[in-house]
Structure 1
């Protein structure tokens, strides 16, 4: 065997392989240089998805608002989830928050509910964001939602409670649309005159029951100068008596017990003409504008919640601001949630105006909100009273009592309206339970 010849052949083969490998390497390098995006370009940013919980049905505006945002913000997408704004629904929300079920933003409908969530550590202190002045944007009523002198949620809408009126029924009875300073006595007289056959004169939405009592207390204060309960103020007594008389003496108002057990759909009975007046809020607009499910042949007018007495000093109307949106401190996308929330508050929520939710930000277009609210149904409303009452300017209050006190008072007044205890005992027990709470929670 010629060893020398074989060795040269092997060396030649190795050189050929080396050149080939070098050419391959050089080719790959050249290709990479010619197309830098193939290896050095950053990957496309993945869209962030925020979940927002609210009590308004999606089809009544929230979904349209979210869709508007999503169309313009592909990097931050929002998903809307509805919870029913009742005890069971709020418990569901609280459970989801405390068990970290992926909620980024949520809506609070009562100060008591917000305070409870602050105490549970599920509402973010918004003072960490420095680019939005809530007091300037929302006005002086916003401060009612401060807890420990801080905002843990952003108020987004004007709260309005008022009396809905069947104007056709008023005209038939020869009654004028009430003046802005009408009283509980006036309400009782109107209800008696408007009761006809099976039609009630007046019905109070179950959520609006405290309006008369809170309105009576708001001017005088929920506590006295010495720090004790004022829930037995004489004007409060008068409010209880008036409602009791409408139920049992005039029979112009449904019994509270029947209303609770039957789960009376008060908005539906008003829109069907089964009650001439309804004490409620702006949320009824989403039904009154739904002519398909709630067709009606009468015009709707509006009145303020009546004062208890005409000479009542410092009377305040139930209202202020509402729909307070909080950010969950456990959200992984707090900055993105804040960006969406600012947009929503400053006008992004406008689609909700058709259901009566009027934006409270000074940057929102109120005229546009009125147009959306009335839509094609303008002729079915008494626009003059709507502008005076729904868009009027009055001294308002936001109920500031703790949820435990609100619940205790409700338990006591239900006994009174069910004829289970006297008015004296009702007020005495309410005051005692309020004082017990105040004593246990001294600052």
Structure 2
């Protein structure tokens, strides 16, 4: 199902429920979540508050350990974890559950775009009434990237980092150094030198595929001074042409092939079928799983390259992530808030083994690093890892582009990579559709 169809379905669903949603609560009729009893009254009466948290990380990669730890210490508030896949279908599943009053008390947002859509639908709780937790003091100033209309509808809980993963053995064989600052033209050169029969130079996730576009437009602006669309920025053309050349020389997969085969790019990288992987820190849950992904090579890391040749203009996707919201319709808001504060301040630590480093200043970073590397420290290039995680000072952005703009942009660049239109036509179509969208939002 396309993102456009997903958006249309959710819009229709929200409209249908609009007249009745105000009276809904989280959970079905058999769940304790449908009770309007306050947490304190529930505890006093001997009843147990039951919460359900939805997130995109597999339970075995940390979430189950988190809720087990909480449940052991808090017999009066018990949490259950529900996994949804962070893709179009998975996000539709979560949004449908939220809008139809199914059992959701807390949920994790993985982009500002997804959060904004849920705030507009009225399913994310405004945390303004809770004054016992200073989000910005705990997480830092970049927390503001997650505000919607100047308010917090949740807490960003992890340090979100995106970078390029290298098969260091292949890198050494090609005589290439691990870069600390580079451009997409450099990436193209590396990919060409690193490709081989049955091996790509670079693979990347479709979710992070347009990150470089947002990096450039975060710096230059999505609109020009006159208010018109800036989606025909010259750097957009640079991105299209560079990747197209890489696809044609087979240093990176053709987009059409990746779309139809649903390429497992992280598995390909860990099996040695690609020398580079453009992805985030969540891949550690795969790279540390030596049973299912055995490897003998060491992994090195580099920042995601820039489109702009000027190093000062570089902005990388990252900052803070895993933004946890409370369902505005849950009957157990205070209990959910109690859990969320604990989770954000270090309760989520077991997720560090899968690459999720807690963002709170009160969390133990040293313990997180130990969990991150586990018994596999010798299989990573530690200096380059520390650089991308802690030493790289490149400014970051959180993607919060409206879903409609994400969709129209994707539809046009897919036509380009599928050979249906040239660069100029693609950029012109993006601008035309963006301008039309902006007229509808005035």
- Structures share fold, TM-score greater than 0.5: yes
Rounded Cα–Cα distance in structure 2 between residues aligned with 1:259 and 1:277 = 16
Cα deviation, residue 440, structure 1: 1.1
* Larger-Rg structure: 1
Cα deviation, residue 313, structure 1: 4.6
Rounded Cα–Cα distance in structure 2 between residues aligned with 1:258 and 1:75 = 51
| Correspondence for 2:433 | 433
- Greater mean deviation of Cα atoms: 256-265 or 228-237: 228-237
Q: Can you give the 5+ residue segments of structure 2 that lack an aligned partner in the other structure?
A: 1-42
Rounded Cα–Cα distance in structure 2 between residues aligned with 1:188 and 1:305 = 12
| Correspondence for 2:3 | none
Rounded Cα–Cα distance in structure 2 between residues aligned with 1:48 and 1:84 = 26
Cα deviation, residue 189, structure 1: 0.6
| Correspondence for 1:59 | 60
Q: Can you give the 5+ residue segments of structure 1 that lack an aligned partner in the other structure?
A: 1-41
| Correspondence for 2:189 | 189
Rounded Cα–Cα distance in structure 1 between residues aligned with 2:297 and 2:68 = 34
Residue by residue, what CA displacement relative to the aligned partner does 1:127-185 show, whole Å, maximum 9, x if unpaired? Answer: 1101111111111111111111101121111111111100000011111111x221111
The RMSD of aligned alpha carbons is: 1.3
Helix, strand or coil: the match of 1:373?
helix
Relative to 1, partners in 2 of residues 1:314 and 1:52: Cα closer, same or farther, differing over 3 Å? same
Rounded Cα–Cα distance in structure 2 between residues aligned with 1:356 and 1:97 = 28
Q: Is the 1:182–1:307 Cα contact (8 Å) retained in structure 2?
A: yes
Rounded Cα–Cα distance in structure 1 between residues aligned with 2:194 and 2:149 = 47
Rounded Cα–Cα distance in structure 1 between residues aligned with 2:289 and 2:368 = 17
Residue by residue, what CA displacement relative to the aligned partner does 1:395-435 show, whole Å, maximum 9, x if unpaired? Answer: 10011210110011000001111111111111111111111
Rounded Cα–Cα distance in structure 1 between residues aligned with 2:378 and 2:312 = 37
Relative to 1, partners in 2 of residues 1:313 and 1:217: Cα closer, same or farther, differing over 3 Å? farther
Rounded Cα–Cα distance in structure 2 between residues aligned with 1:312 and 1:353 = 31
| Correspondence for 2:124 | 123
Relative to 1, partners in 2 of residues 1:308 and 1:48: Cα closer, same or farther, differing over 3 Å? same
TM-score of the superposed pair, with normalisation by structure 1: 0.88
Cα deviation, residue 390, structure 1: 2.6
- Pairwise mapping of residues 18-97 of structure 1 onto structure 2 (< 5 A)? 44-97=45-98
Cα deviation, residue 329, structure 1: 1.4
Residue 389 of structure 2 corresponds to residue 390 of structure 1? yes
- Pairwise mapping of residues 165-244 of structure 1 onto structure 2 (< 5 A)? 165-178=166-179, 180-244=180-244
Helix, strand or coil: the match of 2:282?
helix
TM-score of the superposed pair, with normalisation by structure 2: 0.88
Rounded Cα–Cα distance in structure 2 between residues aligned with 1:310 and 1:43 = 63
| Correspondence for 1:417 | 417
Residue 130 of structure 2 corresponds to residue 134 of structure 1? no
Residue by residue, what CA displacement relative to the aligned partner does 1:231-269 show, whole Å, maximum 9, x if unpaired? Answer: 121122111111111011x32111000011111000000
Q: Is the 1:408–1:430 Cα contact (8 Å) retained in structure 2?
A: yes
Cα deviation, residue 55, structure 1: 0.8
Helix, strand or coil: the match of 2:324?
strand
- What is the count of residue pairs matched by the alignment? 399
